[in-house]
Structure 1
Amino acid sequence: MCGLAGVIADRTLTPAQQQRLADAVAALHHRGPDGHGIHQQGPVGLVHTRLAIIDLAGGDQPLQSAASGLQAVVNGEIYNHVELREEFRRRGEPEPRSHSDCEALLQAYQVHGVPGLARLNGMFAAALHDPARRRLVLARDRLGIKPLYYARGAGCVVFGSELRAVLALLGHTPPLVADGIAQFFEHEFQGGEATAFEGVMRVPPGHALVIEEDGLQIRRERYWSLAEAPLRTWPASTRAEEADEAFTALMEQVMTEHLRADVPFGLLLSGGVDSGLLCALLTRMHGQPIESFSVGYATDDAAEAGRNELDAAEAVAARLGTRHTALRLAPGDLWRRLPHAVWATDELMRDHAVLPTLALGERASQSLKIVFTGEGGDEVFAGYGRYRRPALQRWLAGLRSPGSGGFRTRSLWPRAWQQAVFGPALQAASGGFRQPQIEAWQATPRNWTTLQRSQHGDLMTAVPDNLLVKADRSLMAFGIEGRVPFLDHRVVEFGLSLPDAWKVQGRIGKHFLRRWGLRHLPHDALFTPKKGFHVPMHWLLSGDFLKHLQAALARNAAVQQWLQPAGVARLIEVQQQTGAHTEALSAVLHFALWHRIQVEQGGRRPPAHAELLDYLQ
């Protein structure tokens, strides 16, 4: 787990571009605090910051192939590197220079070219310089677990694990794009390939971009598509026991690969089904107690205490004998983390679960470099309530907003408040958040069910552009690798293949996983209604703080440029009177913070605990 960045120019790198490689190292230091490497050859410069997980002594990057001169920098883990190494040895391929798992990516490309990426089980972003073919290849894993961005500069293409590295290599901050900001306000994140910065793009999951040295032409190659994956079929005569056995064998293989590391690991334990099952599997397969971490609130608020999952997490930890740490956060601790959370997220994305995840990452980093998390279980096995909406409700939503089968059609902002708060450019861009969802829906086979198509929509949009942004950036901000077994592509394909009736029964989602899990955990731990981790923003957006916030936002550059200050002031007044617009107001607050930190201050890192209003004045 690391950070990577680099540049390919239309001629030999200039002194300015060489200096910017060093700037990219500084921008990505938090992702790789154990060391860094820089490779320069002709028009190509590669940067790597390392978090040492496998082959601690010999796994420094950039990696180099002695046989072909290939150079590569990789962020992530290739879990099946043991099997691939043996396969390439039997083929008579040259031995790798190190025992790093990332050597498998270099070998797979060397033998098979870009299609060789489909041989890799893992999470990765990579840049490979192929001097023989005079090209650079940028690649990203199937589900977008690891981030990778790129942009065209003056006579070059730059790329990096985070936006701040790309901006450092460009040497300037591009203007913002109204569509990206509008998507953020209406949908909490921006989906698709574009980002909020003009010309700065995401490498799509499951793709490689081939950049030719001659002319810097970019050609894309897709090596995996969930919509085209050969999903398993389940005859009507299939017994539940047969599906259970198949899933057991799959999870044994997936977890065996995910457990490969040369450093200790732990688990973020929420008290829900997914992390509870991971805890059971890790404990059994590791053979000794693991460290686990959970988080909740120190509060007298009875409503919030009732949503706390600390007791459920501690019950699982006690049952499985983990070395458990429970964090209890006071409201003030959350708010002082908000500037750092906005910086850590990097993207213009608002998921307040970043706040407790940062607290967990900071605590886990005191003893570990790896934590497992349950991300993806709800999307893969259909746990969310949005997958169980009545057919009539979906049909009506589809009539109002066609293109996605009535799935994810609503803006988070009522039209009246859009008109009052959004500036003219954002009003013109309103509704664009639906396009990535429509494209994901339309890409699926017509014989797929509505449930499968809805799951696919989330797996192609909300998962890489929201859920995994939170998971990757929150943990990497403190040099922690997050492993997400439920988003292994084989598990994803298995979950999509299951008949709807096995996944959803009445008002119970994720039924297959819950029932399968009974071999590991008691019924109460698996069939208790889902709580989720709620962040009580109403604690902050109330009382005297709103008066200070109103004064600060009135002077904020982002509000003045993109919103209507009078509308923002009215929103605050109504929030103060009724408390009814917490989500809308928190979006304005987040955007103002993000703009101040990422745009006006050039991505300068705030302390982990800071005074919130200091970043809005």
Structure 2
Amino acid sequence: MCGIAGFVGQGSREDITRMNAAQAWRGPDAEGIWADPAHGVYLGHMRLSIIDLGGGAQPMWTQDGDVGVVFNGEIYNHAELRGELKSLGARFVTDHSDTEVLLHGYREWGDAFVNRLNGMWAFVIYDRRRRRLFASRDRFGKKPFYYINRPGLFAFASELTALTAHGAIACPVSALALRKFFAYGYIPAPHSILEGVFKLPGGHSLAHELVSGTVRVWKYWDFVLEPFEDIAADAEREWCEQLRALLGAAVKRRLISDVPIGAFLSGGIDSSAVAAFAARELGPGRLNTYSIGFEEPSFDESAYARRAADLVQSTHRLKMLSIDAARQVLPYVLSRLDEPLGDSSLLPTYLLCGFAREHVTVAIGGDGGDELFAGYDPFRALRWADLYQKLMPRPVHRAISLLIARLPVSHRNMSLDFKLKRTLRGLDHLPSLWCPVWMAPLGPDDLEECFGGRIDLEDVYSEAIEQWESCRSGALVDRTLQFYTKLYLQDDILTKVDRASMMHS
């Protein structure tokens, strides 16, 4: 929705200008730069205007000039927080900017004010009196945040290309991150593809003390799966009512905008549910929905999207994707990525965002539903995989794997040979590695061949193992949910949607 950048220490106004320019496509509506050469502090912002179009310019400051902020995202409960802060004596200058709520929230409640926020964000607050920067990223990591800290320079940006636009930042590729990329298909936080550059993980905050040069990172929120102590007799009805209420309220909050808004609609349960709640709020025919169809039938879900659109009475638009069209845009899409991402759905997501941008500025969708509600195919395989691994002798397993490997390759979506080969590949390992190996672009043997030596799987898949072992529930489904929600969702799905959508901001 925007691009933020800044640094403390070595550098000049020319550096922050280049950093802004490197991510200008994230915010085409306005550019802001604030510089304090005497103290070596520089802040930059590229704005895509969504809320308070005339009053939300950044960097934004309190009236006394002591606290400033650069902010990427949207705070959905900003109106409620504004009212509460006003009752405590805060004096607002803007009409309804959510950015100004961050300034007064920080001043009133300190670093812990992020616990009160409902939204998506990555921001940096500069406290001039305390000589510190305070940064935070939303709970699931929807908005990106990269940073580097070394003697004489602390710098941050929404994208790596902006960070490396600073004249003093030139980092080699991280060998470990590269191995993780080929193992996961994405680079898990806090790693980045560049050595010495880090992502601030979702649910974390950061403080940089300008005087001492120290940086402290801490977790302010965590996604935790906890088993129920008791399950009521009518639990399904009760849970469904709670889910409807929560999802309806969440969608309603996201419809608050000063620019046109629409919805992505694939026809699946997740996006259809979001579209249904949005249509209920807006009324018949007032919701614009958008879909991408595929000429390859096994990939095409456009008929389901049309049925869902008819059901919710939205104004629906469909664009078909051919192989030739994909080949034409692929080089451009890859050239705009600041970090490698191995998710093939990046391409249709890019085209979908561009299609929707012809009519609306903001679009909501169903991303995150499969991670939270176990919608992916691997969840269906868990019980059988567990039984297979317990009963099948290893020599027989190896023989079956060799036999299945001889099956001809099908290029249909989720073909039988693909499922069998991936499942058996994962079952070579402990359950903690099933999901990452099932989803890996390269299997462990291929990784070793690619990098020319033995690969330490505990090192490469350390994040997946940590999530598996830290889960408070011993159930396979819960442990797999934790992998998807805390790794795959943040570093693949949300990254993909952010980059694809910002290419059309």
- TM-score, L = length of structure 2: 0.86
What's the offset of the Cα at 1:271?
1.5
Matched, 1:386 2:378: yes
Q: In 2, distance between residues paired with 1:109 and 1:145?
A: 21
Return closer, same or farther for 1:401/1:388 CA change in 2, 3 Å cut-off.
Answer: same
Q: In the superposition, relative to structure 1, how do residues 251 and 286 fare at CA in structure 2: closer, same or farther (>3 Å)? A: same
| Offset at residue 243 of structure 1 (A) | 1.7
Residues 234 and 90 from structure 1, CA distance in 2 versus in 1: closer, same or farther, beyond 3 angstroms?
Answer: farther
Alignment partner, residue 408 of structure 1? 436
1:441-460 paired onto structure 2 within 5 Å = 441-445=468-472, 447=473, 449-460=475-486
Matches of 1:80 and 1:72 in 2, distance apart?
18
- Corresponding position of 2:165: 168
Select which of 9, 23, 26 maps to 1:28: 23
Q: Name the structure 2 match of 1:470.
A: 496
Partner of 1:612: none
Q: Does 1:433 align with 2:466?
A: no
Is 2:368 the partner of 1:376?
yes
The reply to whether residue 39 of structure 1 matches residue 39 of structure 2 is no
1:565 counterpart residue number: none
Q: Residue 259 of structure 1 is aligned with which of 255, 259, 264?
A: 255
Counterpart-to-counterpart distance in 1, 2:121 and 2:324: 36
Alpha carbons of structure 1 residues 271 and 25: separation in structure 2 relative to 1, 3 Å: same
Percent identity over paired residues: 32
The one-letter code sitting in structure 2 at the alignment partner of 1:465 is D
In the TM superposition, what are the counterparts of 1:182-261 in structure 2 within 5 Å?
Answer: 182-227=179-224, 235-261=231-257
What amino acid is the match of 1:444?
A: C
Cα distance change, pair 251–414 in 1 and its aligned pair in 2 (3 A):
closer
In structure 2, distance between residues paired with 1:258 and 1:161: 22
| Structure 2 counterpart of 1:280 | 276
> Residue 57 in 1 paired to residue 84 in 2?
no
Distance 1:442 1:381 in 2: 20
**In the alignment, structure 1 residue 269 sits paired with structure 2 residue 265:** yes
Shift of 1:188: 1.0
Q: What secondary structure is seen at the aligned counterpart in 2 of 1:461?
A: helix
In the TM superposition, residue 362 of structure 1 has moved relative to its aligned partner by: 1.5
Q: Contact 2:342–2:441 at 8 Å: present in 1 too?
A: no
Deviates most, 216-225 or 165-174 = 165-174
- Residue pair 1:394, 1:406 contacting (<8 A) in 2 also: no
Q: Which amino acid aligns with 1:81?
A: H
- What amino acid maps onto 2:71 in structure 1? V
Q: Offset at 1:151?
A: 0.9
Structure 2 match to 1:17: 12
Cα deviation for residue 248 of structure 1 reads 2.2
Instruction: Report the Cα offset of residue 367 of structure 1.
Output: 2.0
Q: Any gaps of 5 or more consecutive residues in structure 1?
A: 299-303, 480-617
| Deviation, structure 1 residue 415 | 5.0
Distance 1:103 1:420 in 2: 53
- Higher mean displacement: 29-38 or 240-249: 240-249
Q: How far did residue 320 of structure 1 move? A: 2.5
Aligned to 2:451: 422
| Distance apart, 1:253 and its partner CA | 2.0
Aligned residues: 465
Give the match for residue 3 of structure 1: 3
1:287 to partner: Cα distance? 1.9
Q: Which residue of 1 aligns with 2:88?
A: 91
User: Structure 1 residue 239: deviation in Å?
Assistant: 3.5
1:345 to 331, 337, 348: 337
Q: Distance in 2 between matches of 1:392 and 1:269?
A: 32
Cα deviations across residues 314-371 of structure 1 (Å, max 9, x unaligned)?
Answer: 1222232322211112211101211222133322111111111111111222221101
